[in-house]
Amino acid sequence: MTKPTPLSGFPELLPAQRIAELAVIDHLRRTFELHGFASIETRIVETLDRLAKGGEIDKEIYVLRRLHADDDSSDSGLALHFDLTVPFARYVLENSGRLEFPFRRYQIQKAWRGERPQEGRFREFTQADVDIVARDELGLHYDVEVARVMAEALADLPLPPMTLQTNSRRLIEGFYRGLGVADPHLVISIMDKLDKAAAEVISRRLVDEAGLDDEQALLCLRLAEIRTRDTSFVEQVRALGVEHELLETGLTELAAVIDGCADVSSDRFRVEANLRIARGLDYYTGTVFEIYMEGHESLGSVGGGGRYDA
Amino acid sequence: MTKPTPLSGFPELLPAQRIAELAVIDHLRRTFELHGFASIETRIVETLDRLAKGGEIDKEIYVLRRLHADDDSSDSGLALHFDLTVPFARYVLENSGRLEFPFRRYQIQKAWRGERPQEGRFREFTQADVDIVARDELGLHYDVEVARVMAEALADLPLPPMTLQTNSRRLIEGFYRGLGVADPHLVISIMDKLDKAAAEVISRRLVDEAGLDDEQALLCLRLAEIRTRDTSFVEQVRALGVEHELLETGLTELAAVIDGCADVSSDRFRVEANLRIARGLDYYTGTVFEIYMEGHESLGSVGGGGRYDA
């Protein structure tokens, strides 16, 4: 057998590295289980029609076919999952009559993306998810619960300190509505690029693309600068003089999350209100968060999530 | 979202079933680790040229392609592994300079086969492997070690009692050579079908296809009837009056394995010499074994393996 060479994007660990990986996975698992999250594993394939929604990620999907398909009808349109959210949503729907709600599950499993090879991007990678799903409405205290579980899972790992930065989609959407902008979601998508572009560029785009005037654009940028470790962000937002019912709801909810996490903040894990966080134009409807590792901000967030109400 | 239906051959567990699966996996893992086996995980894909060797299993291989491949050169010819042996052999070759030999590893991972849907056959299934690999020659006591690890791993699970049935390829090949048959490997492949066909059919094939006379065919069948829980199989083989140096080596080695496992045999796990076991025409060169679960023999063997010397 000729000596094989590694496949780009499909990393494999030596035994000593694997022990470290297992220690991390075991710690996450134990934490999730102590908080009452049930383990599930979903199959690695989903039907292509459920997976591919015309989004940015579609081109990274790996499709399966049998090598010598004499009858490929039952395999047609199967593809590897690219995250654990789509499979979990499908699993809950498929088994809804056999699960107890609110259903807490954790899932630590590999996912695959046909990425172009580049630093820090893998084609095969392990993802660890926790979710709580309700049949009807899910109380706000579940947002706090998820943040606390994340804090406990990550604070005790032998890794650099981490920060969970949280925001509320209702807060920012309410603020933009209170400002009187015509298309709040377009503003969210432009503001979401603030980490990658200069404030002047974002401001110009808010004016040119979203039709804001200079004063409105300035207030959007001022909102995005607010970042506090306690609930003092509420006063800072109010000082900007914008009013809207949805903004009030968002302020109340985000303050509840920050308050609810006050006692888990430590040197190893901080919880902060960061009014710049938006998580793109996704399906999120309430609390959103991103987790960053100190000294490794260039990696981008090492975790994230949020609430989505149907 | 429409209610999804399960995919045939891709089973998914409910939380209560998953707890049982995790308990089994944890027990196997703990046993393997206590015996000094290191955990590794290999990527789920291998290059097609390494995976497809023109064997029976080729038609069950799942090939990957990117959904919208703008440049598929780096993905071409990737396929899902159908067991953990091919990936492990490749891993050892790729990392040979960074491993310590003899290298003990365990691997508990999923594998995939594009099987036609049928009872008890899955397209996605979990496999648990232990192997010991040496740079040069591997002493016979490693055969005993692997059998003992299997006994310990399986005896304590809340499952029906199991039997590890073991044989030596050298013993049967030596016996056939001592009988003076022209093509011992052809005889092995015919005898391997003894569980699926009547003795008369096998006898006829030995005469018609392998050119044996009736007396030789009878002795092959007599050998295959020998099955003992101790080393008395040695006397029973000698009583058949066949002599060959390789046969003697095989008898000695199999007796050593049976002796070495004497103290692990229990009501829950028995080790038996069964001179019918061959594991097909594979790459095995010495000790081979199959594990059966009492009362569930229709499942076929629930585990198996053997030695292969390069």
Q: Is the pLDDT of residue B215 over 70?
A: yes
Cα end-to-end span (Å), chain A:
54
Q: Is the pLDDT of residue A73 over 60?
A: no
Angle at B234 between CA B228 and CA B236, to 5 degrees: 75
In this structure, what CATH number is given to the domain that contains residue A200? 3.30.930.10
Judgement on whether residues A92 and A166 belong to the same structural domain of the protein: no
SS (H, E, C) B80-140: ECCCCHHHHHHHHHHCHHHCCCCEEEEEEEEEECCCCCECCECCEEEEEEEEEECCCCCCC
For a pLDDT cut of 70, what percent of chain B falls above it? 96
For a pLDDT cut of 90, what percent of chain B falls above it? 79
**Contact A203/A217 with Cβ under 8 angstroms?**
yes
Judgement on whether residues A183 and A302 belong to the same structural domain of the protein: yes
Contact list in A for residue B45 (CB cut-off 8 A) is 7, 10, 124
Res. B76 pLDDT band, cuts 50 70 90: low
Sheet holding B303-306, edge to edge: B227-228, B269-274, B162-168, B287-293, B303-306
**Contact B64/A41 with Cβ under 8 angstroms?**
no
Judgement on whether residues B125 and B166 belong to the same structural domain of the protein: no
Number of domains, chain B:
2
Beta bridge partners of B121: B118
With an 8 Å Cβ cutoff, is A93 touching chain B?
yes
Judgement on whether residues B186 and B249 belong to the same structural domain of the protein: yes
| Lowest-pLDDT range of A21-30, B71-80, B200-209 | B71-80
Query: Per the domain annotation, does A282 fall within a domain?
Result: yes
Q: Is the pLDDT of residue B168 over 60?
A: yes
| Lowest-pLDDT range of B70-79, B122-131, B184-193 | B70-79
Contact list in B for residue A93 (CB cut-off 8 A) is 1, 3-4
* Cβ-defined contact of A62 to B62 (cutoff 8 Å): no
**Which secondary-structure segment (H or E) carries B227?**
strand B227-228
Give the mean model confidence (pLDDT) for residues A75-102: 93
A-contacting residues of B 40-59, CB under 8 Å? Answer: 40-45, 47-48, 50, 52, 58-59
Q: What is the rounded average pLDDT for all residues in chain A?
A: 92
With an 8 Å Cβ cutoff, is B222 touching chain A?
no
Instruction: Give the residue from B136, B171, B196 where a domain finishes.
Output: B136
d(CA B225, CA B190): 15
Sheet holding A303-306, edge to edge: A227-228, A269-274, A162-168, A287-293, A303-306
ipTM of this model? 0.91
Closest CA in chain A for residue B124: A43
With an 8 Å Cβ cutoff, is B1 touching chain A?
yes
Q: What is the pLDDT of residues B99-140, one digit of tens each?
A: 999 999 999 999 999 887 777 789 999 999 999 999 988 999
Closest CA in chain A for residue B17: A40
Judgement on whether residues B189 and B294 belong to the same structural domain of the protein: yes
Query: Per the domain annotation, does A113 fall within a domain?
Result: yes
Q: Which of A72, A126, A6 is nearest to B74 (CA)?
A: A6
Q: Closest to A67 (Cβ–Cβ): which among B61, B74, B75?
A: B61
Domain carrying residue B238? 162-310
Q: Which of B182, B176, B200, B171 is nearest to B258 (CA)?
A: B171
Query: Per the domain annotation, does B188 fall within a domain?
Result: yes
Give the mean model confidence (pLDDT) for residues A48-59: 82
Query: Per the domain annotation, does B142 fall within a domain?
Result: no
Q: Which of A121, A115, A114, A39 is nearest to A80 (CA)?
A: A114
* Cβ-defined contact of B38 to A58 (cutoff 8 Å): no
Judgement on whether residues A282 and A180 belong to the same structural domain of the protein: yes
What is the reported pLDDT for B281? Answer: 62
Residue B121 structure tokens? 């056959």
Judgement on whether residues B101 and B210 belong to the same structural domain of the protein: no
Q: Is the pLDDT of residue A71 over 60?
A: no
Judgement on whether residues A205 and A109 belong to the same structural domain of the protein: no
**Which secondary-structure segment (H or E) carries B280?**
none
Res. B258 pLDDT band, cuts 50 70 90: very high
Query: Per the domain annotation, does B154 fall within a domain?
Result: no
Q: What is the rounded average pLDDT for all residues in chain B?
A: 92
Alpha-carbon torsion, ordered A308, A309, B4, B8, to 10 deg:
40
Q: Is the pLDDT of residue B69 over 70?
A: no
Judgement on whether residues A23 and A56 belong to the same structural domain of the protein: yes
* Cβ-defined contact of A19 to B1 (cutoff 8 Å): no
Give the mean model confidence (pLDDT) for residues B222-228: 97
* Cβ-defined contact of B114 to A66 (cutoff 8 Å): yes
Query: Per the domain annotation, does B147 fall within a domain?
Result: no
Q: Is the pLDDT of residue B75 over 60?
A: no
Residue B287 structure tokens? 């000790």
Q: Which of A65, A61, A63, A87 is nearest to A75 (CA)?
A: A65
Judgement on whether residues A84 and A191 belong to the same structural domain of the protein: no
Query: Per the domain annotation, does A146 fall within a domain?
Result: no
Query: Per the domain annotation, does B151 fall within a domain?
Result: no
Contacts of A273 (CB under 8 A, 6+ apart): A165, A166, A167, A226, A227, A228, A229, A231, A233, A254, A258
Res. A69 pLDDT band, cuts 50 70 90: low
Judgement on whether residues B300 and B235 belong to the same structural domain of the protein: yes
Q: Is the pLDDT of residue B266 over 70?
A: yes
d(CA B156, CA B172): 32
Give the mean model confidence (pLDDT) for residues A92-106: 96
**Contact B40/B107 with Cβ under 8 angstroms?**
yes
Give the mean model confidence (pLDDT) for residues A279-284: 77
d(CA A230, CA A306): 20
Residue A309 structure tokens? 């109400």
* Cβ-defined contact of B65 to A69 (cutoff 8 Å): no
* Cβ-defined contact of A14 to B98 (cutoff 8 Å): yes
B-contacting residues of A 97-116, CB under 8 Å? Answer: 98-99, 105, 110, 112, 114, 116
Judgement on whether residues B129 and B201 belong to the same structural domain of the protein: no
Give the C-alpha distances (Å, rounded to integers) separating A233 from A123, A199, A229, A251: 39, 21, 8, 9
Which one has a higher pLDDT value, B58 or A150?
A: A150
How far off is chain B from A222, nearest CA to CA, in Å? 39
d(CA B299, CA A150): 43
